[in-house]
Amino acid sequence: MTQDELKQAVAQAAADYVAANAPAGSIIGVGTGSTANFFIDALAPLKDRYRGAVASSEATRRRLEGHGFPVLDLNDVEHIPVYVDGADEIDAGLNMIKGGGGALTREKIVAAVAGTFVCIADGSKLVDTMGKFPLPVEVIPMACAHVARELTKLGGTPVLRAGFVTDNGNLILDVKGLAITDPKGLEARINQIVGVVTNGLFAVRPADVLLLGTAEGVRRIG
């Protein structure tokens, strides 16, 4: 199977999970990226079952609306039973690195409101220890150099994502070389640096369920 076929398989499995676990008339949280895009396409035929969706990025909002899915402002929503999103890396504890698409802050906000976080990923994303994928950190533009110095003190090598501005008008530093032995502690530590909006470690609020695409089929963890 190609990587896209694995992503399509987990996207369909996630649409089935949502149909079984999110009540009719509820609001679905939708992530960002190529796997999330397959999920949007798989969810579209069932759109009349749901009141609408909350999008974790402008790109996701556009794709949902392209399918005729109503997209709601999170401030008008009290409860999101299920949030479905991809990951750049995920470990056995369902801690993740996210933000390869630069949507980490809105993804973390929607995840914080969601009852159940379902991560969808092809098998290449499951790792023993996270950190091979550079950790994205969203930064207020005027603080970029300061934050980069602080991240270097933590042992990382930050690289400014060239020509990229987030949906929130900020910059991304991609940090290579961090030893992620304590994901929760490192997530909290980096978020304490003044000028950091948030970082792409999702360990304080990890996924609840992983749907992993493998050659043998979709494996469910959690």
Please give the positions annotated as active site: 107
Pick the closest to residue 54 from 38, 68, 70 (CA basis).
70
29 binds ligand 5RP (CB under 6 A): no
- Identity of the amino acid at 82: V
Torsion angle of the four alpha carbons 188, 189, 193, 199, in this order, in degrees rounded to the nearest 10: -50
Of 153, 152, 142, 140, nearest to 197 by C-alpha is 140
- Distance of alpha carbon 74 from alpha carbon 205, whole angstroms: 18
Q: By CB under 6 A, is residue 157 in contact with ligand 5RP?
A: no
Q: Which is nearer to ligand 5RP, 88 or 174 (CB)?
A: 88
98 binds ligand 5RP (CB under 6 A): yes
Between 26 and 32, CB nearer to ligand 5RP: 32
Q: Does 61 bind ligand 5RP (CB under 6 A)?
A: no
The correct pick among 103, 126, 209, 210 for binding ligand 5RP (CB under 6 A) is 103
Q: Which stretch binds ligand 5RP (CB under 6 A): 12-20, 39-47, 81-89, 139-147?
A: 81-89
Note whether 87 binds ligand 5RP by CB under 6 A. Answer: yes
Q: Does 135 bind ligand 5RP (CB under 6 A)?
A: no
Helix, strand or coil for residue 9?
Answer: helix
Instruction: Judge whether 154 and 125 are in contact, CB under 8 Å.
Output: no
